[in-house]
Chain A
Amino acid sequence: MSQLNLQQLHDTEFPVPADMQGNVAITSLSRIYNWSRRSSMWPLLFGLACCAIEMIATAASRYDLSRFGMEVMRASPRQSDLMIVSGTVTKKMLVPIVRLYNQMPEPKYVLAMGACASGGGPFKEGYNVVSGIDQYIPVDVYVPGCPPTPQALLNGLIALQKKIDGQLLTNLDDVPWYGVGPSDAVPIPVLGPDIIDPRQMELIRRQAELAAQGQPFGMRELPPAAITDVEKAKAKMKVKGSAAPAIAASGASEDVDAALAEMRNRKRQEALARKRAMMKQ
């Protein structure tokens, strides 16, 4: 703290709202508050899969998380500030994860480590894999990679520290834990025939009604850009008689063909324009 002189405290790098200008105390307080908060992020001692090994390697002596004040990995969610979702989130594991998240005290942060936690990763197509933990709990920082190296994880943690640095005490959106009442818990998913997000109950009910009328459950009409060569795919299928729920069975109409052709043309024109611009340079 000794280097932090008064002048530094006054010079904030964040825009001060008009009504707050002159309110030096609060902005300086934000800085101190954020500095202390980001320098003592205690991660939850919690590993899921391969990325957890890299997380442990990051915490070990070579990369040494303690340089960031993060070496105190707490096994209890009630003592931790940061959840590093390190690895593939399966549907079965999702329930405990949401529970752990709810048990963490505010302020709490989530870092999605690796491709699996961010968006399902290589196992995305699997039936038991959640395509991204952010579908259930809010995520602050994503670290891509499969697995991210320790340095990549550190880079993500520094990004999280930067994010915290940008939070203002005067902005309730930044510090919701000073708002009115306790923060809402994330509803815990239910393991039914498949995982059920309670927030989607209404949608599922509507779809179930539609399904009762004979429509495919939860099917979606694909946007034109995503239409694949359906007939070809079907012909290639070795197993017949099983409806593929994923592929929308829309016949390739002429309209779609025209739209596709137009889009291709447009994309090509754009690409050509880009290339010409590049050549001019």
Chain B
Amino acid sequence: MTEEMTLVPERADTLPIEGAIDYLKRKFPDAVKDDTRQGYSGIIVDPAHLVEVARTACDELGFNYLSSATAVDYLGIDDSMEMVYHAYRISGGGALVFKAQTDRNKPEIPSLIEVYPGADFQEREAYDLYGIHFPGHPNLKRILLWDGFDGHPMRKDWKEAYYEQETKPFDSRWPKGYVRRAEELNVFGKNVKYPADLDLAKLSDMSEEALYSGMGLGVDVSSFPAQADELQTDRLVVNLGPHHPSTHGVFRMVVTLEGETIVALEPVMGYLHRNHEKIGERNAWNHNMPFTDRLDYISSMSNNLGYALAVEKLLAMGARYQPPTYRAEVIRVLMVELTRIVNHYWAIGFLLNDLGAFFTPALYAIAEREKILDFFEATAGSRMMCNYMRFQGVAKDLPERIRSVASHVNDKVRDFNTMDYLTELINERIPRSVDELDRYLTDSEIIKERTIGVGYLSPDMAIAYSTSGPLLRASGVPYDVRRAEPYSIYPELDFDVCVRHNGDIYDRYLIRLDEMRESIRILKQILPRLEKTQGESVFAGNKAIYMPRVPIGEAYGRVENPKGELGYYLVSQGDPKGPQNPWRYHVRAPSFINLTPLGAMCRGQKVADVVAILGSIDIVLGETDR
């Protein structure tokens, strides 16, 4: 036993998951135990030793990429709060899942920010929504809601103003569904709920105070050791957003400037926090699918796929599960790769917008995007909110013809054969337009001047900050979930993981072009598979069940979204027959976590580069704030 304790690190960081868990259990016999709950995996770590265990997992075992850290409230089950961490090896493979449990009434778990800097925002989110304290976190304040908000809304005993019932479907809708607006429920006629001890006399807007106090506002000029011949300057705090044309939505950055140079930058978010997770836990399993469309609303198909995969992992624990048919998988990949192209068009177009190429590249990109949206609209029924994937398949087969029908509102019709349309789109239209983008942007001196060497992110930092997607790969880390932990039919498809090594804005632009070309390569392999499987079923089993029951357990499903790694952490608990609603529904949003290094990337840059750096990360606020 003792000989094995002295495993050399070279061997430890290639151990399989079970071996790694054994290693941890041997090293921390008192602190680590198996998670033996039904349908659960991984280990439960004593919070007192959490940091040491995490450090061992990161440094010795090689799990140096923290994908997701989230809290779960087990009120009524074992009345504890739990932090769940999913750590991966950057060389690929499965997750090391470790958890730390704490008392619900006084939740406190040590911060892992020293081991995994990428835990920063995720711990702040857990603090904001669950009220868990993280001793050791340097900047623990609310992130999605404002300071002064009453309560921690994701706790299971916290009820909204429009609270109606614990789970959907609501009883008031049928059979005696007399319509009413939720506004009628309180005298204010609004979605508000005040605490009983509301003191209006003491009311003042405190929501910004903590933010500005941390920014170095009101610095005494004389305190700087200024040179005699130098102009004495004060620091200036500038707000960029939430209403700003270049923040890609309602994102806000508070910047401290010295002249034009950035000294500190703090991202402020939550301006589009629409309670996705709280609503998701009220919803039934099926209900969440259209809500995932609205996460990253530019690439809804990929969001759908991630959720479907996560729920399928849970369903696979049950007896009646059938994996999706081959044609369904082919269609899924087709949709997801088209979505990647749509997203990168959009990202490149608006990155150029941020650089000052006002609207021309964006207009060309949107024009090409419309061609793909036409296909989505004909297949899934909506341009943006596709709601197309289902558990064990997809909603409907591709239509035979992309055809519109004249009605009393519309008169101009189109009629294309779907396969012809797709073939032409993939073989001609998209490659042509990608080449065109390449031709008129890549060599432009203005773009090169503005982007090369700006917003540098080193590979080590990119991994440590848990960044993912093009941001990570442009820093020289070839990590792609499609290869690292393959799903769907990606193993049989031939494509390369794109990687660039400079880690600046220019490389992030180039890698998006590369990825579009790789997507085209995948799509060209998809077309013959579509032809071959014509007429086969796109759904495994009978018709989709409208209120499926999902076996008890937990699952973490992740996909390589255009913006990075999108993960869903799901817990199915409560009803022994298999609950109709998720107990925990967490979204590991790439846009949210990719923002963690923003402050570090911007420090020392000029203020005009901030929007370009933000544009190169490519965030979408629906996903950042959820």
A interface residues (Cβ-Cβ under 8 A, vs B): 45-50, 52-54, 56-57, 60-62, 75, 87-88, 90-93, 96, 100, 116, 119-120, 122-131, 135, 146-147, 149, 190-197, 200-201, 203-205, 207-208, 211-212, 217-220, 222-223, 225-226, 228-229, 232-233, 236-239, 241-242, 244-247, 260
Contact = CB atoms under 8 A, between A and B. Distances in A.
Contacts of B194: 192-194, 196, 204, 207-208, 217-218
A95 B102 CA distance: 36
Given A236-B171, A260-B176, 20 more contacts: A49-B249, A49-B250, A56-B366, A57-B370, A61-B363, A88-B272, A92-B145, A92-B207, A125-B282, A126-B274, A126-B275, A126-B279, A128-B153, A128-B273, A128-B275, A191-B146, A194-B192, A207-B187, A228-B171, A246-B164
Contacts of B198: 192-193, 204, 208, 211, 217
A116 B182 CA distance: 14
Given A93-B272, A124-B182, A245 B146 contact: no
A128 B193 CA distance: 11
14 contacts: A87-B272, A123-B279, A125-B164, A128-B145, A192-B198, A193-B198, A195-B190, A200-B188, A220-B184, A222-B184, A226-B178, A226-B180, A239-B166, A247-B163
Contacts of B249: 47-49, 52
B465 interface: no
Interface in B239-270: 242-245, 249-250, 270
B178 A192 contact: no
A193 B182 CA distance: 20
B528 interface: no
B164 A247 contact: yes
A130 B191 contact: yes
Contact of A90 (B271, B278, B362): B271
- Residue among B183, B273, B383 with most chain A CB within 10 A: B273
Nearest to A94: B271
Contacts, number: 253
Contacts of B166: 236-239
A137 B187 CA distance: 19
Interface residues of B, number: 81
Interface in B90-105: none
Contact of A50 (B164, B167, B188, B294): B294
Given A96-B243, A237-B166, A126 B160 contact: yes
A163 B442 CA distance: 47
Contacts of B232: none
B200 interface: yes
- Residue among A91, A212, A241, A260 with most chain B CB within 10 A: A91
B446 interface: no
B291 interface: yes
Contacts of B356: none
- Residue among A93, A219, A241 with most chain B CB within 10 A: A93
Contacts of B203: 190, 192, 196
B188 A125 contact: no
A196 B384 CA distance: 34
Given A92-B145, A122-B291, A131-B190, A229 B171 contact: yes
A239 B193 contact: no
B53 interface: no
Given A53-B298, A233-B165, A236-B171, A201 B186 contact: no
B242 A127 contact: no
A60 B187 contact: no
A239 B75 contact: yes
B275 A123 contact: yes
B535 interface: no
Contacts of A131: 162, 181-183, 190-191
Nearest to A93: B271
A105 to B, nearest CB: 17
B193 to A, nearest CB: 6
Interface string B337-364: 0000000000000000000000000110
A236 B282 CA distance: 13
A203 B187 contact: yes
A61 B371 CA distance: 13
Contacts of A247: 163-164
Contacts of B172: 228-229, 233
A192 to B, nearest CB: 5
B549 to A, nearest CB: 15
A171 B405 CA distance: 44
A208 B200 contact: yes
A122 B168 CA distance: 13
B243 A100 contact: yes
B153 A127 contact: yes
A195 B270 CA distance: 14
B29 interface: no
Interface in B534-568: none
Contacts of A53: 297-298, 384
A49 B279 contact: no
B622 interface: yes
A204 B188 contact: yes
B292 to A, nearest CB: 12
B574 A50 contact: no
A191 B148 contact: yes
Contacts of A237: 165-166
Contacts of B148: 191-193
B366 A57 contact: yes
Contacts of B245: 45, 75
Contacts of B160: 125-127
Nearest to B369: A57
A272 to B, nearest CB: 19
B613 interface: no
Interface in B132-181: 144-146, 148-150, 153, 156-157, 159-167, 171-172, 176, 178, 180-181
B163 A194 contact: no
Contacts of A260: 176
B196 interface: yes
Given A46-B243, A57-B366, A232 B171 contact: yes
B162 A194 contact: no
Shortest Cβ-Cβ A-B pairs, 3 listed: A126-B275, A193-B150, A50-B297
Contacts of B184: 220, 222-223, 226
Contact of B205 (A91, A191, A229, A236): A191
Contacts of A225: 178, 180
A33 B367 CA distance: 35
A201 B180 CA distance: 26
B150 A194 contact: yes
B363 A239 contact: no
Interface in B195-231: 195-196, 198, 200, 203-205, 207
Contacts of B272: 48-49, 87-88, 90, 93
A114 B75 CA distance: 36
B303 to A, nearest CB: 12
A124 B165 CA distance: 14
A196 B200 CA distance: 10
B430 interface: no
B385 interface: yes
B273 A245 contact: no
A91 B270 CA distance: 10
A193 to B, nearest CB: 4
B189 interface: yes
A99 B299 CA distance: 32
Given A62-B370, A126-B279, A191-B148, A246 B273 contact: no
B76 interface: yes
Nearest to A130: B191
A232 B175 CA distance: 13
Contacts of A195: 190, 192
B363 to A, nearest CB: 5
A60 B198 CA distance: 48
